[in-house]
Amino acid sequence: MTEFLGQIVDFVNSTNIPQQLHEVDVKGLFSNTWFLVPLIAFICYNLYKQAMNTLVMTGLGFGLWLFSGSRYMENLVVGDKLQLDKVLPVAGVFIGAIAIAIYFLFMRSD
C-alpha cells in the first residue's frame, strides 16, 4: 500500500503543482496542464450542476491565494518590522472573505 501511495506522491511532485502553489506562481500554475484540465472540468461540472456555493467558495479560495502572494502582502513585513498601516486592509480582506463564506454556507439556500 505504501508503495502505491509513494508512486502517487512522486507523480504529484513531478507535476510541480505543490511548488507553484507554495510560491504563488500564477502564470506557471495556470499554464500547467496537470492543473488546468482538472480545474476546467471541475468548473464545468459545477456550472452544469448549478452549484453556485461551490463556485463562489472556489473563487474565494483562489482570490485569497492570489492576494496572499501579491506585492502588498510581500511588503507587509519589511526587515523584522510589521508595517502597522497595512494590517487593517489585510484584516478587512480576510474578514470580508469570512463573511462571504458564512453567507454562502449558512444563510443562502439553494
> Quick one: 28 and 8 in the same domain?
yes
What pLDDT is attached to residue 6? 87
> Quick one: 43 and 54 in the same domain?
no
> Quick one: 58 and 107 in the same domain?
yes
Domain that holds residue 11: 1-49
List the beta bridge partners of residue 77: 82
> Quick one: 72 and 39 in the same domain?
no
> Quick one: 72 and 25 in the same domain?
no
pLDDT beyond 80 at 65: yes
> Quick one: 90 and 39 in the same domain?
no
Count of structural domains, the chain: 2
Q: Helix, strand, coil: what percent of the chain each, to 5?
A: 75, 5, 20
Which band of pLDDT confidence, cut at 50, 70 and 90, is reported for residue 110?
low
CA distances in angstroms from 37 to 13, 29, 42, 102, listed in the order given: 17, 11, 9, 29
6-37 pLDDT per residue, tens: 888 888 888 888 888 888 888 888 898 999 99
Whole-model pTM? 0.76
> Quick one: 2 and 30 in the same domain?
yes
